[in-house]
């Protein structure tokens, strides 16, 4: 099956049965939208990512070669020289000098290995699964054959495609706030200066800053950004929407930008990719490089995005408060709602790290509220056996229990129903109905967890991502983003990372660990 775009497959499936359309499709995500309690069947809508690969005949001995050739084509990095004549020059970047190298004759010291070779690769997947039924298995063929999938290693190159003294670089932060934005801005500026770039500007309030006259460019240099990492938020401001691609590229030309660093999530990266494609159409020597930003950790192919660790850490304060409230009250129930529109990574990791959560509810795993296998029945059991309970729910979980609206926000995201308020009301009504006292405390720290300063782990990640973004731009790449795959820093084509949202795999070992930690049953 060669899918060309995200596709909905509708069907029904018995609870616990595997979805037959998912085999061999990375990122396939069955979602229950209507659960029948009597027949224990679930109306599914399966989101499958575009894999853009040829239909494979596994009986053909060359199928693996065919797959790898297609993979190499898709993950080849777009480069300026693909569309314009541009000659490289020796890099001005060196760790041995306090200032950018000048008058380099091209004979870099062979003994110093600080540069990354263009042919360096890292493996995208490193586990050889023995069976499709193995936890978290992601198989290409029915035999789960091992297939090497190599992606480009990130870092500084010996050859660059810009003259730093003539470069004008821009930085823009889009979407919502995220811990670490200022760390990335700061590191991009410092690395650009290390190359010898003197003209660096910030675009205010996301893509809106390209076409609103009152939002002037913000000149950036070491002195300006030196301490901005000590605060949360974005030094440049953020906003959603405003992606009129033609107008943005017109503005890029008018501003004479040579590089644009775009910090944002899936929607922002989709916009950045369109900007890159428009620049290619116009044959502009402009490098568009993304830096993946989301506390939801939902960007495809990457181990982790910056802001996620800090958000999980900040969520601990809310969970701890809810635990204290629940534990201190007679029949106390603590309910915490965390961010996660379609992916439950924050909720899962916060529940795991807390060790106090009894019920973890995420968008990827449907659940029932009523009935013998429902959440409310399990709450009764917890109150009877331990006297209190703690629930952690992602904002996108259980939307099938809420009335749906077709309203969208400025980024085009569906406006969700409030599962936290709904659960709060259902829990209170249920215990009142059965005549059992309950004391429910609801905590919603959603925006608090993203407004804080980056912790040490995220600050390091932001430093690495900011530096590699600059290295990628000077190497002549455009339409790329930088991230971590299996602990290695890599470059990926934006077109590949925006094909789907990254989801928690309910068959993964991490979700199994979460279930073991909470002790919760299957709510079907």
Active-site option among 138, 183, 296, 505: 296
362 is in an annotated binding site: no
| Pair of tokens at residue 360 | 């973890």
Q: What is the number of other CB atoms lying within 10 angstroms of the CB of residue 365?
A: 22
Residue 435's contacts (CB-CB under 8 Å, 6 or more residues apart) are none
Please say if 120 is a catalytic residue: no
267 is in an annotated binding site: yes
420 is in an annotated binding site: no
| Residues present in the chain in total | 524
Residue 400's contacts (CB-CB under 8 Å, 6 or more residues apart) are 32, 33, 34, 35, 366
Spatial separation of the C-alpha atoms in residues 357 and 394, rounded to whole Å: 13
266 is in an annotated binding site: yes
240 is in an annotated binding site: yes
157 is in an annotated binding site: no
302 is in an annotated binding site: no
185 is in an annotated binding site: no
Task: Calculate the CA dihedral of residues 255, 257, 262, 263 and round it to 10 degrees.
Answer: -80
Spatial separation of the C-alpha atoms in residues 171 and 451, rounded to whole Å: 20
Label each residue of 301-327 as H, E or C. Answer: CCCCCECHHHHHHHHHHHHHHHHHHHH
339 is in an annotated binding site: yes
57 is in an annotated binding site: no
340 is in an annotated binding site: yes
483 is in an annotated binding site: no
Parallel/antiparallel/unpaired status of strands 488-493 and 159-160: unpaired
296 is in an annotated binding site: yes
Strand ranges inside 309-431, DSSP E: 332-338, 359-361, 389-394
Residue 117's contacts (CB-CB under 8 Å, 6 or more residues apart) are none
265 is in an annotated binding site: yes
Residue that is written with structure tokens 């969970």 in the block: 319
Instruction: List, by residue number, the catalytic residues.
Output: 296
Binding residues: 176, 240-241, 265-268, 294-296, 339-341, 395, 447-450
Binding residues for substrate: 294-296, 339-341, 395, 447-450
Binding residues for ATP: 176, 240-241, 265-268
């Amino acid at each position: 099956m060669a899918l060309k775009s995200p596709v909905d497959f509708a069907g029904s499936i018995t609870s616990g049965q595997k979805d037959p359309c998912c085999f061999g499709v990375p990122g396939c995500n069955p979602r229950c939208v209507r659960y029948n309690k009597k027949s224990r069947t679930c109306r599914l809508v399966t989101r499958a990512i575009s894999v853009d690969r040829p239909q494979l005949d596994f009986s053909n001995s060359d199928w693996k070669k065919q797959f790898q050739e297609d993979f190499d084509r898709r993950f080849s990095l777009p480069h300026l020289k693909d569309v314009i004549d541009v000659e490289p020059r020796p890099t001005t970047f060196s760790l041995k000098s306090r200032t950018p190298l000048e008058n380099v004759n091209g004979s870099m010291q062979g003994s110093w290995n600080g540069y990354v070779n263009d042919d360096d690769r890292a493996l995208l997947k490193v586990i050889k699964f023995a069976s499709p039924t193995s936890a978290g298995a992601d198989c290409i063929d029915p035999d789960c054959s091992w297939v090497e999938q190599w992606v480009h290693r990130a870092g500084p190159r010996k050859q660059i495609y810009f003259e730093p003294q003539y470069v004008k670089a821009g930085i823009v932060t889009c979407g919502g706030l995220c811990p670490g934005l200022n760390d990335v801005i700061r590191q991009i500026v410092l690395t650009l200066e290390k190359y010898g770039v003197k003209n660096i500007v910030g675009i205010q309030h996301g893509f809106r800053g390209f076409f609103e006259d009152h939002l002037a460019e913000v000149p950036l240099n070491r002195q300006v950004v030196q301490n901005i990492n000590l605060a949360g938020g974005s030094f440049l401001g953020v906003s959603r929407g405003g992606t009129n691609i033609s107008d943005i590229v017109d503005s890029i030309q008018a501003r004479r930008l040579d590089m644009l660093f775009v910090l944002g999530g899936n929607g922002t990266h989709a916009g950045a990719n369109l900007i890159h494609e428009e620049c290619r159409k116009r044959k502009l020597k402009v490098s568009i490089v993304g830096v993946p930003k989301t506390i939801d950790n939902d960007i495809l192919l990457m181990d982790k995005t910056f802001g996620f660790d800090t958000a999980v850490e900040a969520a601990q304060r809310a969970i701890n408060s809810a635990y204290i409230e629940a534990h201190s009250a007679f029949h106390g129930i603590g309910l915490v709602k965390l961010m996660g529109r379609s992916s439950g990574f924050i909720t899962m990791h916060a529940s795991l790290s807390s060790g106090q959560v009894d019920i973890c509810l995420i968008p990827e795993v449907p659940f029932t509220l009523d009935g013998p296998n429902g959440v409310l029945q399990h709450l009764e059991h917890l109150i009877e056996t331990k006297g209190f309970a703690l629930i952690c729910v992602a904002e996108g979980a259980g939307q099938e229990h809420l009335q749906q609206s077709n309203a969208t926000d400025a980024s085009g995201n569906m406006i969700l129903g409030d599962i936290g308020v709904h659960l709060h009301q259902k829990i209170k009504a249920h215990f009142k109905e059965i005549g059992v006292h309950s004391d429910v405390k609801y905590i919603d720290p959603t925006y608090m967890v993203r407004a804080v300063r980056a912790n040490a782990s995220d600050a390091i990640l932001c430093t690495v991502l900011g530096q590699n973004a600059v290295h990628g731009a000077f190497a002549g790449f455009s339409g790329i983003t930088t991230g971590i795959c299996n602990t290695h820093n890599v470059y990926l084509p934006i077109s590949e990372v925006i094909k789907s949202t990254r989801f928690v795999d309910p068959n993964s070992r991490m979700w199994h660990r979460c279930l073991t930690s909470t002790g919760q049953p299957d709510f079907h």
